[in-house]
Structure 1
């Protein structure tokens, strides 16, 4: 892996509330992205998972909310992207109906896959299904080396991920311009307060491409380098190590104001399996729901009743937002600048 630069940190510094760092409210643009968390059930239980998903979780989309989401996708042409996440979205209720209605209405569909789901009983059809529907696959591979992946995601996950990527390549993913395959890098969780920023995305992407092609004949389109935000299991880990506050201080010390214009929360709605609306997936996991200018909490049903997706003026923020604005920034699509 690329050697990361370690930046010294004054551990006695005070964290500035994120809203004060901005000076002005963080405002919404027109909504073009609908990110839907279909639930928290997953075949894996990764150490860095901000959703805290696992095989033991049972939460998932209901038929009622699924139908509301289908109506939402059909009703609003301004939605350009439907981004499906979980848990393992492929194993959750509503996955295929939402894929099909989104594609029928000309939306680009993104599925955030852990890849290993393809080898679970009942899900071996998923790669072909995604190819037939031209679903863009964004796959978690937090390192190109096996030890690092298995430490974060579980024994055997790396080998299964490699086999899954080769499977997708045979279907044309990473080669056919209509079959986009992206990979996601996450840093390992820090063991000490010598924190470092996410490596340069372009350089790391080249390292991934060379290694995976030389060793496994794998090709893919883009690498997204994503910062670990201090929420979910990452937050629990940092708290156990007494690193939660120092990590927030580190992120603040690397705040980059030029990332703010490009933050993913600005043109996105994040929907949970209950139909509640959030500004982003991270706010969803921290139970910080979106509100109108009147302070009303939003649901999918309320958006349908109002006849507009653009009810939110100001985005709700918290100190973990420093994770999206540190260094080159971070989003579900990788670095921001």
Structure 2
């Protein structure tokens, strides 16, 4: 009797089975808020599937809950604002000003081109005035590669935006942090590769951007493309989804696990639902209470505790954060 080949799912060991023990929460220090899906771009690698036609965003009620959460829990030291283009979505400036008023570090994950959209031209000055740390997407230091991933003309606008931030003191003043984010092109064949060395790539970025444009920045973060969102859709269309997942699983590095961002972070969507990370959020895998109930910001406020989550929810795409040197919103993990 001829046996059927194993299903693709069966060839990837569940992530939680690869760990020596359950993945548990540490004390929460980072509150990451996805303000919504509205964006002036529609990048091919966007796991949020954001774009100009999306309308989902924070409500005034959820914004007020988040401000109360920041006020009530001083252990939240960093507020990380993302989207979409977070600057386009409701609640952005109230959250910035509330967090800064409470002495918290505020990071905004900006696509830079938003600086040139009508109504947002004051953003660089606003960022500098409130000492917002800018984490800017620049998936390569070469123009052709950036425009292929993000759209024609995005590179030139990004360069102009970085030069403007440098003029305001970003990259020079310790209070005005400017970090760049690299992510590789979406795989187009089964010849997969790990994300390059963060240290080496930062050196390449620094040399090129300084010599060609006079641009300086503080850190480069390298991020692996996780097979979710538009990346997942593309890989599935090319029959590369399971091969890519197997590649990531085959390069699992246990040394990355203690530093996974999901361990000390709360991720919140525009409806106030909690997740362990932004990737789980995009795959609709909410954080659960010990009794198995999805949690919201309102639940934390009612319980007057940030510690309702004990075990982190994992899925096969978690291998994207542990492959090679690891990957997180703050770059490599080892």
| Structure-2-length-normalised TM-score | 0.97
2:146 matched to 1:146? Answer: no
Question: What secondary structure sits across from 2:25 in the alignment?
Answer: coil
2:306 matched to 1:309? Answer: yes
1:1-337 to structure 2, matched below 5 A, reads: 14-337=11-334
| C-alpha distance in 2 between matches for 1:212 and 1:299 | 42
Task: Note the aligned Cα RMSD (angstroms).
Answer: 1.0
Q: Is the 8 A contact 1:110 1:138 kept in 2?
A: yes
Q: Is the 8 A contact 2:252 2:324 kept in 1?
A: yes
| C-alpha distance in 2 between matches for 1:43 and 1:244 | 28
| C-alpha distance in 1 between matches for 2:13 and 2:99 | 41
| C-alpha distance in 2 between matches for 1:118 and 1:134 | 17
What is the deviation of 1:94? 0.4
Q: Is the 8 A contact 1:13 1:249 kept in 2?
A: no
| C-alpha distance in 2 between matches for 1:221 and 1:230 | 28
Q: Is the 8 A contact 1:115 1:165 kept in 2?
A: yes
Deviations along 1:167-208, one digit per CA (max 9) or x if unpaired, are 000000000000000000000111110100000000000000
Question: What secondary structure sits across from 1:165 in the alignment?
Answer: helix
| C-alpha distance in 2 between matches for 1:321 and 1:59 | 26
Q: Which moved more, 1:16-25 or 1:70-79?
A: 16-25
| C-alpha distance in 2 between matches for 1:181 and 1:207 | 17
| C-alpha distance in 2 between matches for 1:12 and 1:75 | 43
Structure 1: state its 5+ residue gaps: 1-10
Moved over 3 A (4+): none
Question: What secondary structure sits across from 1:99 in the alignment?
Answer: helix
Deviations along 1:242-300, one digit per CA (max 9) or x if unpaired, are 10000000000100001000000000000000000000000000000001111121000
Question: What secondary structure sits across from 1:330 in the alignment?
Answer: coil
> How many equivalent pairs are there?
327
Q: Is the 8 A contact 2:31 2:79 kept in 1?
A: yes
Tell me the residue number matched to 2:3: none
| C-alpha distance in 1 between matches for 2:105 and 2:279 | 22
| Structure-1-length-normalised TM-score | 0.96
| C-alpha distance in 2 between matches for 1:191 and 1:13 | 24
What is the deviation of 1:12? 11
Structure 2: state its 5+ residue gaps: 1-7
Q: Is the 8 A contact 1:61 1:94 kept in 2?
A: yes
